[in-house]
Amino acid sequence: MPAHLLGGVGRAGVEAAMVAWRHGAGWLDELVALFDRHRRLVVDVLGSELPAIGCHLPASTFLAWLDVSAFDLGSDPAARIRAMAGVRTSEGHEFGTGGEGYVRLNFGTSTALLTEILDRLVGSLRPRGGAALAG
């Protein structure tokens, strides 16, 4: 591939990186703390409201893997969740073998939006007479 198609270093990008390295530690600490609160919120809410969803506390990143195999969501659980709850997740099988029955939830958002996402998930997947759970 020609080198000119790969882009290059721009002055604005270099300046932004230098400012971030010099002055961004406080912002980064706040972001890490926010993601820590969010990952705990996801696990706590789903554990208490939807215990049929398997979800462990993520060690890093802003992504939670939700085992929704206990629910009758068909072969495309992310599409069903989007239709039922209006929440977009990613299909687990798109990330490799063993991802079937899982969806990936991105919790790198505001606390208010994450709370709404969790409320919608709980409201749409909470069993009503066993209808949402696989029989």
Identify the CATH number of the domain in which residue 87 sits.
3.90.1150.10
- 5 in any annotated domain: no
- Cα distance between residue 25 and residue 43, in whole Å: 27
Q: What percent of the chain has pLDDT over 90?
A: 76
pTM for the structure as a whole: 0.81
- Using the predicted structure, report yes or no on whether residue 97 has a pLDDT greater than 50: yes
At 25 the pLDDT is 96
- 71 in any annotated domain: yes
**H helices then E strands: how many in the chain?**
4, 3
- 135 in any annotated domain: no
- Cα distance between residue 39 and residue 106, in whole Å: 10
- 68 in any annotated domain: yes
- 15 in any annotated domain: yes
- Cα distance between residue 73 and residue 132, in whole Å: 8
| Count of structural domains within the chain | 1
- Using the predicted structure, report yes or no on whether residue 122 has a pLDDT greater than 60: yes
- 2 in any annotated domain: no
| Model confidence pLDDT, tens digit, residues 39-94 | 999 999 999 999 999 999 999 889 999 999 999 999 999 999 999 999 999 999 99
Q: Tell me the mean pLDDT in the region 5-15.
A: 84
Domain extent for 53:
10-125
